[in-house]
Amino acid sequence: MLTKIWKVDPAAENLEENAAIREAAAYIRDGELIAFPTETVYGLGANALSDDAVKKIYEAKGRPSDNPLIVHISDFSQAERVARSIPGAAEKLMKAFWPGPLTVIVPAADAVAKTVTAGLKTVGLRMPQHPVARALISAADVPIAAPSANLSGKPSPTEASHVYEDMNGRIAGILDGGPAGVGVESTVVDTTQDLVTILRPGGVTREQLEAVLGKVASDPALKDKKAQPKAPGMKYRHYSPKAPVELVSGGLQELKQAVARAKETGLTVGVLTTTENANVFKNLADVISVAGTRADLATVAQGLFHALRRFDHYDLDIIFSETFPAEGIGEAIMNRLNKAAGSSKNDGME
Ligand code: AMP
Ligand code: MG
């Protein structure tokens, strides 16, 4: 399949009338796959009301069929087509954080393709903020099911070139709207229980959720590696470069020692670091990948997947990574790094 690439300026006026977006929307309506930018990462979209279209997502990504997809909508009225009902807590969260990087799990309506929910009675709903994503959904006039537009197991794409690396020849087209903003995926919360529960940390922080709802719970599987995650996708290995990743806690000295020891044994070594610390590894590591600055962890979130993907352009034996405080956006960063380092109950790939 020839994969078309359209460049679209997210700041342009009247995006719904943009020729590229109209063409991409026509592909969605025809049951084909389109990759598009969101404010979190690039998504791989299909018509969420068509089982045949959604099946193609699983094929293109090599995604396990038990891992449900998030449905993206562009206005509140579309939620009624996708949700059987909207719990009160979900409504509060939608008002506070939509459009934005928050996915609410709600009871699913019958119209939603069975392949979207992977047989569950609930569905994940999100209204993205990115103007290209919103224009595509409006122009297609159907809710769009979309996971991240990477091959299963790989770091999520934050630039169109990442999507191209993984998906060229597998999908109808890529809307290139420049780099994604937040850099890590949406926060996934279950709103069908008494207490709203974080299933996946992401772009909206726990602190932000608690400011709206009071106390929120966490899926025990986020801490306890033996527990079964409530979000099926969280049980899989994910975000992994080809070389093994090892997280080094402690501090800069510990990381430096780990790199030095590996070099002494003759290994080719990558290091995932920050602007503050990169210089330390100059004559030590073979490949240095800078995610962002420790002074502002939002920049680390933004640059994390690009920094991880860069390692695959080299032939490395091992990658060592800095660690970050698991607070605010740091919770999502550490969740992704732990997964990249291969901590999962099972050897399958997302
Ligand atoms: P991705 O599409 O790669 O951003 O991942 C979406 C995440 O949301 C995965 O971990 C899914 O398992 C999870 N998810 C989607 N729908 C549901 C649902 N109905 N119930 C629980 N988790 C879900
Ligand atoms: Mg993903």
312 φ/ψ angles, rounded to the nearest 5 degrees: -75, -10
Residue 70 in contact with ligand 1 by CB distance below 6 A: yes
Specify the ligand 1 atom closest to the Cα of 116.
16
* Calpha distance 126→184 (Å, rounded): 15
* Calpha distance 214→3 (Å, rounded): 46
Q: Which bin fits 35, alpha (ψ -120 to 50), beta or left (φ > 0)?
A: beta
77 membership: H or E segment, kind and range: helix 76-82
* Calpha distance 56→165 (Å, rounded): 18
* Calpha distance 42→216 (Å, rounded): 28
CA of 124 to the centre of ligand 1 (A): 7
CA of 67 to the centre of ligand 1 (A): 6
What is the secondary structure of 167-203 as a DSSP string? HTTTSSEEEE-SS-SS-S--EEEE-SSSS-EEEE--S
Residue 108 in contact with ligand 1 by CB distance below 6 A: no
Could you say which DSSP state residue 156 is in? Answer: P
Q: Is the peptide bond before 10 cis (omega within 30 degrees of 0)?
A: no
24 φ/ψ angles, rounded to the nearest 5 degrees: -65, -40
Residue with tokens 């087509």, as numbered in its chain: 81
Specify the ligand 1 atom closest to the Cα of 123.
19
CB 343 within 8 A of CB 321: no
Measured between its terminal Cα atoms, the distance across the chain in Å is 24
Residue 104 in contact with ligand 1 by CB distance below 6 A: no
| 3 state SS of 264 | helix
CA of 320 to the centre of ligand 1 (A): 28
* Calpha distance 165→342 (Å, rounded): 22
Residue 185 in contact with ligand 1 by CB distance below 6 A: yes
pLDDT in tens, 136-170: 999 999 999 999 999 999 999 999 999 999 999 99
| In the predicted structure, residue 347 carries a pLDDT above the cut 80 | no
Residue 148 in contact with ligand 1 by CB distance below 6 A: yes
Amino acid sitting at position 120:
L
Q: How many C-beta atoms surround the C-beta of residue 236 within 10 A?
A: 21
Amino acid sitting at position 281:
F
pLDDT in tens, 210-243: 999 999 999 999 998 889 999 999 988 789 999 9
pLDDT in tens, 86-103: 999 999 999 999 999 999
Q: Which bin fits 141, alpha (ψ -120 to 50), beta or left (φ > 0)?
A: left
Give which of 40, 26, 37 is closest to 161, Cα–Cα: 37
What confidence score (pLDDT) does residue 343 get? 58
* Calpha distance 243→254 (Å, rounded): 20
**Using 50, 70 and 90 to split pLDDT, how confident is the model at 350?**
low
Could you say which DSSP state residue 291 is in? Answer: E
pLDDT in tens, 263-293: 999 999 999 999 999 999 999 999 999 999 9
Give which of 96, 40, 339 is closest to 216, Cα–Cα: 96
Residue 69 in contact with ligand 1 by CB distance below 6 A: yes
pLDDT in tens, 20-72: 999 999 999 999 999 999 999 999 999 999 999 999 999 999 999 999 999 99
Specify the ligand 1 atom closest to the Cα of 122.
19
Residue 234 in contact with ligand 1 by CB distance below 6 A: yes
| 3 state SS of 209 | helix
Q: Which bin fits 246, alpha (ψ -120 to 50), beta or left (φ > 0)?
A: beta
What confidence score (pLDDT) does residue 346 get? 42
What confidence score (pLDDT) does residue 225 get? 83
pLDDT in tens, 289-336: 999 999 999 999 999 999 999 999 999 999 999 999 999 999 999 999
